[in-house]
Structure 1
Amino acid sequence: MNPAALQTATRARARMVERLRTEGIRDERVLGAIGSVPRHAFVEEALASRAYEDTALPLGFQQTISQPYVVARMAEVLVAGGRAMGKTLEVGAGCGYQAAVLSQLASDVYAIERIGKLLDKARANLRPLRLPNVRLKHGDGNLGLPEVAPFDSIILAAAATTTPRVLVEQLAPGGRMVFPLGQAGADQIMVLIERQANGGLKETKLDAVRFVPLLAGTE
């Protein structure tokens, strides 16, 4: 990107952060993380001029990059109350954008993507940023990563039709999981699950959202 285009993108990103603030995102850590990641580097070149709009954009493979507000909102839910995000599992790495944002808030990010070619794109997108605390894995996100569980935070970038119990079991005591619940093309709701210190679970329904479906298997 030439210097003039880079300057334009930087200004557009700053405006996006201010827009998120007016839309209700209050956590300055989250706003700082969003502001530090060049979203234009994660979308197709033909869509770069739209990178800082508050909208989901197509990635190919019938997947999308989530709209900035939703990325910020889900992160804010995980860090609410001054909480540290800690070791974090992201299900649905997509193009790598959300993992890059989470890397600014979490000690470690493990991001799973079921579509191998999309994961290759995420690796290429993330490589220039040199984020030492992000690890990408090709796999079925429904299964989580039991070999490195438990996780302090889990975030799903695809809608589950039922509460993903396998992932809930990978939450550490005091851990939080945020995910979209509902059928593709129908009403979906953002849900927060918190594992209490005594092992019990607390579930809170939050905002209406729209996500691609959480699918099983790999390709």
Structure 2
Amino acid sequence: MKDTLKHQGMRNQLADVLIAKGIQEQKVLDAIRAIPRHLFLDSGFEDHAYQDKAFPIGAEQTISQPYTVAFQTELLQIKPNDAILEIGTGSGYQTAVLLHLKAKVFTIERQQELFKKTKLFFGKMNYRPKKVIFGDGYKGLPEDAPFDGIIVTAGAPHVPKALLSQLKIGGRLVIPVGVDSQVMTLFQRKSEKAFEKQELGSFRFVPLLENRN
């Protein structure tokens, strides 16, 4: 598959949809306009790539709805060279958005099949995260902590303490919390022990998997 002017036009239309839904940060919208989302999907789904919907990507996982990607990314308030930990690499689309914002991305995937496929895809597309790891997102990545931001792209039944502990003071954790449906939750680390919590509406994610090795 190629990236054509038609795809670019569809991305511009998608960005306009996201603006209408309340996404405001220009650099996030620029990422949506720039990244060829259709290449992250199986070719059979190409016609659906620029609709504001989630789609299956195999291994019982989905590529998140573009609005959700933009909403979570906006909450992170990324600055260039911020160290960002992503829990749930999935198709790699969210990773690509983070990279477009010039973040240093460390990403963890739980599903072996997806991990292998997406790691190969990153190489082919010349996307360069700092680390792409097969592992347990509940544990985070203590050897590379602390992080300026942590983004969880699957529904967590509870907030993993390991992730909170791996935030820098001033850092932000964006995590959908809940079982059947999730509440998007933002934690900001104010001090060694103090966190500020905000709940920001209902979303629906595939579950965050634990201890599958």
Taking structure 1 as the reference length, what is the TM-score of the superposition? Answer: 0.92
The answer (yes or no) to whether the contact 1:30–1:105 under 8 Å persists in 2 is yes
- Residue number in structure 1 paired with 2:165: 169
* Residue identity opposite 1:121 in structure 2: K
In the TM superposition, residue 18 of structure 1 has moved relative to its aligned partner by 1.2
Unaligned runs of 5+ in 2: none
* Residue identity opposite 1:126 in structure 2: F
* Residue identity opposite 1:72 in structure 2: A
Counterpart of 2:144 in 1: which secondary structure?
Answer: coil
Q: Can you list the C-alpha shifts for 1:12-46, whole angstroms capped at 9, x where unaligned?
A: 11111111111110000111112211100100110
In the TM superposition, residue 7 of structure 1 has moved relative to its aligned partner by 2.1
In the TM superposition, residue 198 of structure 1 has moved relative to its aligned partner by 5.4
How many residue pairs end up in the alignment?
Answer: 212
Q: What's the % identity of the aligned pairs?
A: 39
List structure 1 segments (4+ residues) > 6 angstroms apart after TM superposition. none
In the TM superposition, residue 218 of structure 1 has moved relative to its aligned partner by 4.1
Unaligned runs of 5+ in 1: none
Q: Superposition RMSD on alpha carbons, in Å?
A: 1.6
User: Is 1:195 aligned to residue 189 of structure 2?
Assistant: yes
The answer (yes or no) to whether the contact 2:108–2:133 under 8 Å persists in 1 is yes
User: Is 1:84 aligned to residue 85 of structure 2?
Assistant: no
* Residue identity opposite 1:84 in structure 2: K
- Residue number in structure 1 paired with 2:124: 128
Q: Can you list the C-alpha shifts for 1:119-158, whole angstroms capped at 9, x where unaligned?
A: 1221232223313344211111111000100111000011
Counterpart of 2:208 in 1: which secondary structure?
Answer: coil
CA distance in 2, matches of 1:101, 1:93: 12
- Residue number in structure 2 paired with 1:209: 203
Taking structure 2 as the reference length, what is the TM-score of the superposition? Answer: 0.94
CA distance in 2, matches of 1:141, 1:171: 14
The answer (yes or no) to whether the contact 1:93–1:119 under 8 Å persists in 2 is yes
The answer (yes or no) to whether the contact 1:87–1:106 under 8 Å persists in 2 is no
In the TM superposition, residue 57 of structure 1 has moved relative to its aligned partner by 0.1
The answer (yes or no) to whether the contact 2:156–2:175 under 8 Å persists in 1 is yes
